[in-house]
Amino acid sequence: MTSEGSAAYVERLERAREELVSRGLEAAVITRPENIFFLTGYRAAGIAAATAKLHALLLPAEGEPSMLVRSLERRTSEAMVSVDRLVYDDAEDPFALLAERMAEIVRGPGAPVGVELQRISAYRLQRLLDRLDESGSGVLPVDVSGLIEAHSLILGTPEIASMRRAAQVSAAGLRTGLAASGPGVAAADVVGQVQAAMYAAGQTDFEKSFVALWSGPHGGLMHDTRLDRTLASGDVATVEVMGVDNHYIACAQATVPVGNAPDGFAAVQDLVHSLHDAARAAVRPGARAGDVFAAASRIYEQETGTPYFRRAGDRWASRRSVWTSSRATTRSFRSALRC
C-alpha cells in the first residue's frame, strides 16, 4: 500500500470514528465487505465475507481498529492493510475472539455498539451477542446500516477515475455483446466474447465483474442463469455487464432484436429511450433518487395509463456495488456524484 493510499484510509477511519462519537457509540462492528474495503483497502473482503465464519472490522470510537482474518488470508491481509489483525484458524471461534477484543474496549454491560443489521445475518449477530454475554460484556446493539455509505458516496478524484475506467470496461463489453448477438450464435459464446473484451479493456478485478445474456421470443427468462440456448431470429436479447476497476463498478445494459425484430419492438424501444432520457435529465445535485424514478414513470404512465411496473430509486450505486436501502428514495444526489 502506498503512503498516499494509507493516508486516505487513515482519514476515512477517523471520519467514521467521529461519526460513532456523535452518535454516542463506543464501537461498531462493520460486516459489509464493501465498507471494510472502503475503510481499509482490503480487496479480499468480499470473498472473505462469503467463505469465513465471520469477517468483520471492529472499529472503536477511541483506539485502533481490528480486523478478523482467517489464517488462510494471513499473507493477503499483511500485504493489503495496516490495521491490527485478529487471525484465527478454521477450527477456532471468531465470535469469541471478537467478543474478547470488544470486552477490552467497551466500558461494560449495556454499552451501545453499532452493528450493520442490514449486512449481518441473524445467526451471526446472535452468536456474537451470546459470546459477549458469556464474557460479561453484553452490549446494546444499535443499527448503523448506512453510516459508512454516507461517507463513501462522496467520491474523490481517485474514485471518480476508477468509475470512469470501469465505465470504459463496461462500454467495451456491451458493444461486443450486442455485436455478437446474432441468429445461430450460442449464448455462452456471446458471454465469453464479452468477458474477453472487458479484460482486454483493462478490467482489474474478477470478483464483482458480471456478464449476463437473456434471449427468447419475449426477451427470454429474465435472471435465469443457464447459457445453453442458441439465439434465433425473432428473439429479443438483453445484454447486461458490470465492469470493475479497483472494486468500483459501472453497469450497462441494452436490449436488441436478433435478426428480424418482432412486431411492436420499435415502439417499445422508443418508449424506453424516452424513459432513459427523462431519468437522465433528472439526475443532478440535490435531486432525490425517487425524483429520478418519478421523471421516468410519468412518461410511462402517459403512454400506458399505468405506473411503471419496475421500481427505481431503492437501489443505487454506492462505490463497488449496489446499496439497497428503503431510505434511498429520500436521499439526495451530491455534487461529487457528477461524473
What does the pLDDT look like over 177-217, one tens digit per residue? 999 999 999 999 999 999 999 999 999 999 889 999 999 98
pLDDT per residue over 255-282, tens digit each? 999 998 888 889 988 999 999 999 999 9
Taking each helix axis from N to C end, the angle separating 3-22 and 33-40, rounded to the nearest 10 degrees, works out to 120
Taking each helix axis from N to C end, the angle separating 122-134 and 94-105, rounded to the nearest 10 degrees, works out to 60
Predicted local distance difference test score (pLDDT) of residue 194: 98
Supply the DSSP string of 240-254, one letter for each residue.
Answer: EEEEEETTEEEEEEE
CB atoms within 10 A of CB 70: 21
What pTM does this model have?
0.82
Residues forming beta bridges with residue 322, ordered by sequence position:
317
Out of 88-97, 170-179, 277-286, 316-325, least confident range: 316-325
| Cα–Cα distance measured from residue 115 to residue 147, given in angstroms and rounded to the nearest whole number | 10
Give phi and psi for 259, each to the nearest 5.
Answer: 70, -125
pLDDT greater than 90 at residue 153: no
pLDDT greater than 80 at residue 21: yes
pLDDT greater than 50 at residue 292: yes
| Cα–Cα distance measured from residue 139 to residue 110, given in angstroms and rounded to the nearest whole number | 4
User: Under a CB-based contact definition with an 8 Å cutoff, are residues 42 and 34 in contact?
Assistant: no
pLDDT per residue over 42-52, tens digit each? 999 999 999 99
Report in angstroms the alpha-carbon separations of 161 from 31, 44, 65, 80, 168. 26, 21, 28, 21, 11
User: Under a CB-based contact definition with an 8 Å cutoff, are residues 232 and 211 in contact?
Assistant: no
Predicted local distance difference test score (pLDDT) of residue 138: 77
Predicted local distance difference test score (pLDDT) of residue 77: 95
What's 208's DSSP letter?
S
Q: What is the mean pLDDT of residues 14-26?
A: 95
Predicted local distance difference test score (pLDDT) of residue 5: 57
| Cα–Cα distance measured from residue 248 to residue 320, given in angstroms and rounded to the nearest whole number | 4
Helix (H) or strand (E) holding 33: helix 33-40
Domains and CATH numbers, the chain: 3-152 (3.40.350.10), 155-261 (3.90.230.10), 263-339 (no CATH)
Radius of gyration for the alpha carbons in the chain, expressed in angstroms and rounded: 23
